């Protein structure tokens, strides 16, 4: 009984849309933790090796410089002419201070790439198939896991996009029928000088044909136009680009360019946000891809209506010819 109530409320409140989002979030977290487990030890090991190598190289260069100065002909400097342990220490400190002034030596440790935010960012680039290219796995385990992760994640995201696209289509369709269509008709009537309604045929059978044709036209009028979806997509891109102008300090053109490259899943990687901002960016991109999915649904509907018009037109012409031949035979 309790389970039946849960199922009933689940269908009534359409919680499957939220359920798919929760699955995607959990899938992203699982992917992020797994990629960190594979790649972070390798990143730390490579960084430690590079740091040790840089230290050895710096010490060797300083020691060689001191030996070269020791045997130089600058005998008028006591610190060089008669080197001692104290002079060696002073010279080393002078070289260190010189390195600091010139910003030589070991650079400060850059932030780790394979953190939780970095793992979420990489997971998003995998299952959205964008792949900016600024992050990639290097270990065998990470690359193998990437293949399996993509094989399961890409169909999941396609399912979510189709579901969200259908949901947006229903919402926009209802808004169009109940509100926006009347506004659009009023705006259209302002720019039209006159509205003429065609009357076809005079017989009762012709009226039936015209009724069938009018039913198609009314269905086409109630369907959401493709221009509305395209305007919504443009509005969404400009809105998201404006948000990125604030967080990333990009120009508006750079932000629009980045979102276009992301929504088309090209992902050149010439512009990439920091990982924390990028994780929120994937939510915006998924919603944008849902609008693209909604546009595809509208195109499919418009194509179906176009073929239905063609079929009805052929049927109307056929009926017209039959009625014309019958009327001629009756006259005879």
- On whether the CB atoms of residues 105 and 99 are closer than 8 A, the answer is yes
Summarize pLDDT for 42-96 with one digit per residue, the tens. 999 998 998 888 778 777 777 777 776 666 545 445 544 455 566 667 767 777 7
User: What's residue 270's pLDDT?
Assistant: 87
- On whether the CB atoms of residues 129 and 282 are closer than 8 A, the answer is no
Domain ranges of the chain: 165-331
How far apart CA 59 and CA 73 sit, in angstroms, is 24
State phi, psi for 222 to the nearest 5 degrees.
-80, -20
pLDDT mean across residues, the chain: 77
Burial 198-229 (b: 16+ CB within 10 A, else e): eeeeeeeebeebeeebeeeeeeeeebbbeebb
CA angle 20–24–29, rounded 5-degree value: 150
User: What's residue 202's pLDDT?
Assistant: 43
Q: Nearest-CA neighbor of 213 among 310, 304, 299, 300?
A: 310
How far apart CA 147 and CA 145 sit, in angstroms, is 5
Residue 196: pLDDT band (50, 70, 90) is very low
Q: Nearest-CA neighbor of 289 among 268, 255, 264?
A: 264
Q: For the domain with range 165-331, which CATH number is right: 1.10.287.70, 2.30.30.140, 1.20.1280.50, 3.10.129.10?
A: 1.10.287.70
Using CA atoms, how far residue 151 sits from 15, 147, 148, 252, in Å, is 26, 6, 5, 35
């Amino acid at each position: 009984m309790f389970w039946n109530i849960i199922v009933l409320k689940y269908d009534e409140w359409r919680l499957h849309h939220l359920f798919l989002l929760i699955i995607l979030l959990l899938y992203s977290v699982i992917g992020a933790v797994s990629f960190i487990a594979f790649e972070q030890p390798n990143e730390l090991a490579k960084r430690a090796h590079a740091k040790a190598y840089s230290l050895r190289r710096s010490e060797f260069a300083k020691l060689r410089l001191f030996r070269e100065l020791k045997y130089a002909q600058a005998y008028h400097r006591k610190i060089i002419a008669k080197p001692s342990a104290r002079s060696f220490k002073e010279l080393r400190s002078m070289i260190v201070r010189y390195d600091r002034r010139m910003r030589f030596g070991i650079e400060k440790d850059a932030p780790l790439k394979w953190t939780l935010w970095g793992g979420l960012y990489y997971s998003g680039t995998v299952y959205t198939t964008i792949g900016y290219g600024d992050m990639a796995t290097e270990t065998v385990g990470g690359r193998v896991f990437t293949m399996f992760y993509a094989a399961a994640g890409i169909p999941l995201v396609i399912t979510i996009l189709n579901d969200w696209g259908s949901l947006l289509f229903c919402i926009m369709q209802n808004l169009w029928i109940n509100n926006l269509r009347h506004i659009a008709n009023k705006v259209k009537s302002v720019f039209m000088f006159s509205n003429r309604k065609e009357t076809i045929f005079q017989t009762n059978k012709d009226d039936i044909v015209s009724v069938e044709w009018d039913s198609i036209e009314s269905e086409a009028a109630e369907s959401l136009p493709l221009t509305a979806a395209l305007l919504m997509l443009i509005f969404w891109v400009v809105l998201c680009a404006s948000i990125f102008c604030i967080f990333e300090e990009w120009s508006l053109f750079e932000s629009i360019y980045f979102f276009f490259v992301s929504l088309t899943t090209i992902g050149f990687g010439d512009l990439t946000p920091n990982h924390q901002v990028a994780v929120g960016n994937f939510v915006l991109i998924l919603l944008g891809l849902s609008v693209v999915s909604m546009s595809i649904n509208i195109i499919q509907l418009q194509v179906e209506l176009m073929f239905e018009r063609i079929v009805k037109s052929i049927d109307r012409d056929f009926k017209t010819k039959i009625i014309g031949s019958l009327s001629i035979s009756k006259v005879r």
